Amino acid sequence: MGLWSNELSGSIPEGLFNSTVQLRYLSLTYNSLSGAIPESIAFLPKLTVLLLGDNMLSGPMPPAMFNMSALQFLSTALNNLSGTIPGNGRIGSLQQLTTIALGINPLVGKIPAEMGIITGLVALDFSECMLEGDIPSELGTLVQLTWLNLGINSFTGQIPASLGNLSLVAVLDLSANNLSGAVPMTMGDMRSLQYFAISNNFLNGHVPTCLGNLTALQYFIASENNITGNMPITLTNLSSLVVMDIHQNQISGTIPVSLTNMMSLRMLDASINRMLGSIPTHIGRLSSLQQLDLSHNSFDGHLSAHVGSLKAIILMNLSDNHLSGSLPVSLGQLNELAYLNLSNNIIQDIVPDIFGKMISLIVLDLSYNKLSGPIPTSLANLTYLISLNLSFNKFIGRIPDGGMFSNITLQSLMGNPALCGLSRLGFLPCPNNEQKSRSSKLWLLKFLLPLAVAIGMISICLYLKIRRSKHGEQLILVEDALNYRLISYHELVRATSNFCVDNLIGSGSFGKVFKGQLDDGSVVAIKVLDMQHEGASKSFDIECRALRMARHRNLVKILSTCSNLDFKALILKYMPNGSLERWLPLSGNQPLDMLQRLNIVLDTAMAMAYLHHEHFEVVLHCDLKPSNVLLDEDMVAHVADFGIARLLLGDGNSMVSASMPGTVGYMAPGNNRDDFITSLFLCVLC
């Protein structure tokens, strides 16, 4: 019986299963069921799979549930179930159990030590409950485990050294508890570990050097603890590491130079520690790095010009250190950089004019340094810049006009007494250097004007001569520019064999999506709007507006449009691996492995975080679901279909209608990054 993802409400009838003794599979997930779990479920002798997650069920779990000896998969996660996890031989009697997920319920008490005798367990998730006490060392006997999530509880004591026996575990999450003591050296024996989270505890001691043995590790999250000592050089052996988050600890010493060998690293956050020395010169070798946060440390020396090689970087925060020297000109080459904070250092000299070419920049903070010279007028050309802080430096001269400077506040410029202009902020007017004496003007007219006329005549003659020889070449260049990305209706007809059904790859409420090959040979996805639908034209406009200024690797890119009164189409980048929906377990395809799931979650979360927090307008997707997450040839996730998106102003005070359209059965995530990552993670997992 599979009734998942409907709109079922009310309680589960007590007698519903009285005559279903042959039932082996029962799924009621993703509904709105309430009330208690009926005890009659516990008397289904052949039931092997019981899925009740993501409802509003309440009360304790029936004690008889833990006598279901045939049960292999039990999930009651994401409900409001209370009570304890029963011991005294009850839960230990579920000897056939391979997966148990009770997370995100207000369960209390301890984990029974007898969990350790269910030796066939593969996945155990008790996350986001209210469990307490020690983590039983008996869990170390579950040698078949691949997934262990005990995060966001109130566990105390130390991390059991016996967990090092779990050599098959790929995901271990102990974050957001009250654990103390040092990380056991035995953790280095968990050779299959890919995701290791111990953040937000009271752990101390050094980072164990044995973690360098975890060659499969991709996510190491140990932030917000009391970990001390140096960053072990053995960590640089983790060539597969994607995220290293060790912020807000008491780690000291320097960054090992060999860190630059971690070529897969996307995020490095070592902020709010006691690290010192210089930032490694060759940090630019980390070609995949997207986020670098070394703020609130004691780093010194010059910022190397090699930072200009971080072509994928989106966020760079080096504030509150002792960096000196000049700003590297190479920073201006970082076209993807959206957030740059170098405040509270002792950087001097001028701001290079090339900073005006960082076209994706949204936040720029250079405050509390010793920068001098004029403010580059090129900064006014940064279209997406919404936060600029140049306060408490030594800038001189006229404050630029236009762009960000049209609405800039005094707080962004104060502490620079030699600036002038912008009387609305209280700065003195700039001196008029164009006033000259009458004799100087006459001298200019008498001698310089004839010279200028002569030079002008010569220039015109040369221009006419060159123009004739270059006329043909210019016509070609102009024609190329005019035809760039312009795709006609007839080319779309050819590309799709007249929108043949054989090329149809998807359909929705506002139209259909076809695969097509353009005249230049490129393969694209063509979203054709159904103009008979009342909202199609509005959907087209919304999607264009939502993505016209969005620049992110995890958003589907609009290559071009084709639009007239009777026909509207979006030409999108083609995604060979289709949507996430086709890769979920019920689709019949080969299931995603753990690494692919984690990467898809990270990619989708980064796209949503960009739209919610980093885009110049807040974009609410309103219809995020597996079918709207597309996968390219490398299985990189791209969020698509913004036809019913909502755009807010960047001030955070705008209101959205309480009636939000979307797919029935889905709830759009809140405008909170952590809530979103949690909900999407559970979605992909299930």
Residues in the chain: 686
Q: Is 527 annotated as a binding residue?
A: yes
Is-contact 276 301, C-beta < 8 A? no
Q: Phi and psi for 95 in degrees, rounded to 5?
A: -70, -15
Residue among 125, 245, 269, 623 flagged as catalytic: 623
Burial 542-568 (b: 16+ CB within 10 A, else e): bbeebbeebbbbbbbebbbbbeeeeeb
Q: Report the C-alpha gap between 168 and 191 in whole angstroms.
A: 7
Q: Report the C-alpha gap between 653 and 397 in whole angstroms.
A: 36
Q: Phi and psi for 648 in degrees, rounded to 5?
A: -110, 160
Is 100 exposed, middle or buried, given 0-12, 13-18 or 19+ CB atoms closer than 10 A?
buried
Is-contact 351 374, C-beta < 8 A? no
- Measured between alpha carbons, how far is residue 313 from residues 119, 389, 530, 605 in Å? 45, 21, 39, 17
C-alpha 315 chain-centroid distance = 11
- Measured between alpha carbons, how far is residue 356 from residues 320, 335, 377, 408 in Å? 24, 10, 8, 17
Residues whose CB is less than 8 angstroms from the CB of residue 223 and which lie 6 or more positions away in sequence, other chains included? 199, 200, 245, 246, 247, 248, 249, 269
Q: Report the C-alpha gap between 315 and 341 in whole angstroms.
A: 9
674 is catalytic: no
Q: Report the C-alpha gap between 338 and 659 in whole angstroms.
A: 33
Instruction: Work out the angle at residue 152's Cα, subtended by the Cα atoms of residues 151 and 154, and round it to the nearest 5 degrees.
Output: 105
Q: Report the C-alpha gap between 476 and 469 in whole angstroms.
A: 13
Instruction: Work out the angle at residue 34's Cα, subtended by the Cα atoms of residues 60 and 124, and round it to the nearest 5 degrees.
Output: 50
Residues whose CB is less than 8 angstroms from the CB of residue 204 and which lie 6 or more positions away in sequence, other chains included? 180, 181, 182, 225, 226, 227, 228
Is-contact 181 155, C-beta < 8 A? no
Per-residue DSSP letter, 685? H
Give the pairing type, strands 523-529 and 315-317. Answer: unpaired
Binding residues: 527
Active-site amino acid positions: 623
Binding residues for ATP: 527
